[in-house]
Chains A and B, each alone.
Chain A
Amino acid sequence: MSAADVLQFVLSGITMGSVYAIIALSFTIIFNATGVVNFAQGDFAMLAGLMAVSFIGFDLPILVAVIVAIAATGVVGGAIYALTVAPIPRAGHFTSIAVTLGLSIVLQKGAQFIWGTESHMLAPVSSRETLHFAGATITPQAIFILVTSALMMVLLYAYFKHTRAGQAVLACSENREAAGLVGIDVRWVRAEAYVLGCVLGALAGILVMPITTMSNTSGLVLTIKGFSAAVLGGFGSAAGAVIGGLVLGLLESLSAGLISSSYQNLIALLVVVLILMFRSGGLLGTRTLH
């Protein structure tokens, strides 16, 4: 086992970790603003990916197809918000998990009607196979994911800190009543945050699809990983979501590479549980967990 090999593990770990981070972020944004624990988050990723494939099939250029798919997922998210979240503003965690589980089934089966159960592929961002870096290899797609994720974090940070819309979302998360009192239209803000979360989930789907293919059942795994990453990092904390995602990705990759590939997930999960035992609110603590 050489240093280059370990570097290889680290690189693949942070690549997948970035995808988990984006999904975890989308969980967090939706949760903070609306209180919904969205167990259908991964299915939005799936929808975006499969829609992109269809749009490409309609002869749209790839970039346009991808953007339209992400936007369309946002629209679907808005509709879902109106139908399942807006009517029950005071739903507890348990209810939202249960409702979104049902939603996940509907999305999966709906996707099956349109796209069947086959796995579909999206072409990666570059046809070049790999790039070499300090003895390890990394694909252009992985670099694209890392760069896009970093860019996304920066954009989101700017959005929350420096735009009125973003600050409104933050205000709603901190204290819904107070936000309402100072004139923020809480309902619109919640809807915006929800759609933003869906768009992020969609982006994650587009980014990961060239690596792994996507079928109507691919959403569930992404949901679980994103949820785990979010809780691990500290549910409710955006930075936590990112850290949680990266840590989870690294855990999986390093356990497979350094310890045992058969028990890869077991080791990763065990470490997650141990981390939670020592820091019950997740790595970065939590704001609005209970």
Chain B
Amino acid sequence: MRLQSLRGVGIALALVFSIVGVKEIVPAYAQEQSIKLGVILTLSGPPGRAGNRQKDGAQLAVDAINAAGGIKGRRLQLVIQDDAGDPNAAVTAFNTLAAQDDIVAIYGSTIGSSTMAFAPLAKRAGIPVAVPNATYQITRLGNEFLFRVAVPGDVEVKAAVDLAKKKGWKRIAMLHSNDAYGKQGADLLAEMKDLEVVASESFATNSTDYTPQLTKIRAARPDVIFIWGGVPFTGTAVKNAGQLGITAPLISPTAAGAPANVAAAAGSSALANWQIMGVIDPANPLPRQKAGIEATQAKFKNDPDVFIASGWDAIQVLAAGLKNAAAITRPALKTALEGVKGLEGMGGVYTYSATQRDGTGADSLIWLKVVDNKLVRNDP
């Protein structure tokens, strides 16, 4: 090919890209009447698995609300940005969204450090944030613009420890992912008193085999092993445990209760010993969960996991606030959110106040097991 024409191709492509790009940067002229909610989630890279489900859940809720007539006659609209797991990209995304005056609230982000990064800015800008992640410190910092729509990490650890104590499992081992979620679990466990933690190992989320760590844990002869992480490595870890002939009970937090983990651990002998925290029992949904479960199955042909529930619930919480708000503005919404009590969502019942920032807690948790490759409720 002649070099000049190639340069022409290059220039043309660059121009097209710029046009596409500018079109995307300049905020879309959506219906002026719609109420806009900013969304910052991790949609690419490994945490993207959770983030995409959160986005899906939120979009499902928006579609359902719009189909029912919207809020005060106006449609909801999501304005979505991807932070790619980088907290400072989340800050840039936040600044972009907060600069659009018609965005009244933010939902985000998938990983704790992103929310930590833009939380002070949210306070400064006076924009309320629905927080989907479990990093417990977020809601303990006195930032009154944050509203958690998930079970915080310390509640999960306590639930696991309470179960161990109830069953008389004294020697506890911890196997956690080396991301913020896993490490938080390990740190919290280490701080708890009256426990005997006989082993604590971590794994890199991008590694593929956890038998070395589990071999070390097995050597410590624990009564129970906490396998603390998300998707899909927790499932692989469970499978490795079964391969090593580990028969000790295994306990995992809500982030592990996802179809991918079930698939990863399929056929393992350890499945019988695996207790997973969850928020939804697909076989016997609570009345407050039915709408969300039906919507998920209709669109995605599978059961909702904790991430879809979080997305759905965040929108429900924000919608409740919008309905009660004196006006569709950021300060009015924040005040209204503080008044939300007993809001029934898919993943829990949410109550906030001036001092209560974690909408839900241990009451939302149920215990699940894997039976026939599906998650079913199983109270231990």
A–B: direct contact at CB < 8 Å: yes
Using CB atoms and an 8 Å cutoff, list the residues of chain A in contact with chain B.
Answer: 1-2, 5, 8-9, 12, 15-16, 87, 116-121, 123-124, 127, 129-130, 137, 139, 208, 211-213, 215, 217, 221, 252-254, 256-257, 261-262, 264-265
Would you give 25 A-B contacts (Cβ < 8 Å), ordered by A? A2-B219, A5-B216, A5-B219, A9-B211, A15-B209, A16-B209, A116-B52, A117-B43, A119-B232, A119-B263, A120-B260, A123-B266, A129-B243, A129-B267, A130-B242, A211-B208, A211-B236, A213-B232, A213-B263, A213-B264, A217-B44, A256-B212, A257-B216, A261-B201, A262-B178
Is residue B48 contacting chain A, with contact meaning CB distance below 8 A? yes
Asked whether any CB of chain A lies closer than 8 Å to the CB of B207, the reply is: yes
Q: Is B77 an interface residue (CB 8 A)?
A: no
Of A119, A129, A252, which one neighbours B231 at CB under 8 angstroms?
A119
Are the CB atoms of A121 and B263 closer together than 8 Å? yes
Task: Judge whether B204 is part of the interface by a CB distance below 8 angstroms.
Answer: yes
When the two chains form the complex, which single residue of B203, B212, B219, B266 contacts A12, counting CB atoms closer than 8 Å? B212
Q: Is the pair B263, A265 in contact by a Cβ cutoff of 8 Å? A: no
Contact of A9 among B204, B212, B236 (CB under 8 A): B212
State in angstroms the CA–CA spacing of A124 and B267 once bound together: 10
A257 touches B263 (CB 8 A): no
Could you say which residues of chain A place their CB within 8 Å of the CB of B212?
8-9, 12, 253-254, 256-257, 261, 264
A124 and B232 CA atoms in complex are apart in Å by 16
- Shortest beta-carbon distance from A274 to chain B in Å: 20
Residue B34 lies at the interface, judged by CB distance under 8 Å to chain A: no
| B:214-243 near A, CB below 8 Å | 215-216, 219, 231-232, 235-236, 242-243
Q: Looking at A12, A15, A139, which has the most chain B CB atoms within 10 Å of its CB?
A: A12
Number of B residues, CB within 8 Å of A: 39
Minimum CB–CB distance for A53 against chain B, Å: 10
Contacts of B1 in A (CB 8 A): 87
Among B212, B245, B267: residue with most chain A CB under 10 A = B212
Contact of B208 with A208 in the complex, beta carbons under 8 Å? yes
Complex formed: what's the CA distance from A254 to B215 in Å? 11
Pair A137/B244 contact, Cβ less than 8 Å: yes
Q: Tell me the minimal C-beta distance from A109 to chain B in angstroms.
A: 9
CA distance A130 to B244 in the complex (A): 8
Contact of B204 among A87, A116, A211, A264 (CB under 8 A): A264
B209's partner among A12, A215, A254 (CB-CB below 8 A) is A12
- Please name all residues of chain B whose beta carbon is closer than 8 Å to the beta carbon of A256 when the two chains form the complex: 201, 203, 212-213
Given that A116-B52, A212-B236, A261-B201 are known contacts, is A121 also in contact with B216, CB under 8 Å in the complex? no
Cα(A55)–Cα(B212), bound, Å? 34
Q: Is the CB of A118 within 8 A of B259?
A: yes
B63-81 interface code vs A (CB 8 A; 1 in, 0 out)? 0000000000000000000
Q: Chain B 242-269 against A: per-residue CB contact (8 Å), 1 yes, 0 no?
A: 1111000000000000011001101111
Give complex CA distance A124, B243 in Å.
13
9 closest Cβ contacts across the A-B interface? Answer: A257-B212, A256-B212, A119-B260, A121-B263, A119-B232, A212-B208, A261-B201, A12-B211, A221-B206
B45 at the interface (CB under 8 A from A): yes
- Measured in the bound complex, the distance between the Cα atoms of B204 and A5 in whole Å is 21
**In the docked arrangement, what's the CA distance between A9 and B212, Å?**
6
CB within 8 A of A261: which of B206, B213, B269? Answer: B213
In the complex the two chains form, what is the Cα distance from A8 to B213 in whole Å?
11
Interface assignment of B202: CB less than 8 Å from any CB of chain A: yes
Instruction: Evaluate contact between B213 and A120: CB separation under 8 angstroms.
Output: no
In the complex, which residue of chain A has the Cβ closest to the Cβ of B183? A262
Whose C-beta in chain A lies nearest to the C-beta of B51? A117
Residue from the list B236, B244, B260 in contact with A118, Cβ < 8 A: B260
Q: Mark B168-181, 1 if CB is under 8 A from A, else 0.
A: 00000000001000
B48 contact from A5, A117, A120, A121, Cβ within 8 A: A117
- Judge whether B46 is part of the interface by a CB distance below 8 angstroms: yes
The winner among B1, B48, B209 for most chain A CB atoms within 10 A is B209
Q: Is the CB of A264 within 8 A of B207?
A: yes
Q: Which of A117, A127, A137 contacts B49 (CB 8 A)?
A: A117
Measured CA separation A213–B209 after assembly (Å): 11
Q: Report B-chain residues with C-beta under 8 Å of the C-beta of A118.
A: 49, 259-260
Contact of A129 with B268 in the complex, beta carbons under 8 Å: yes
Are A217's CB and B263's CB within 8 A?
Answer: no
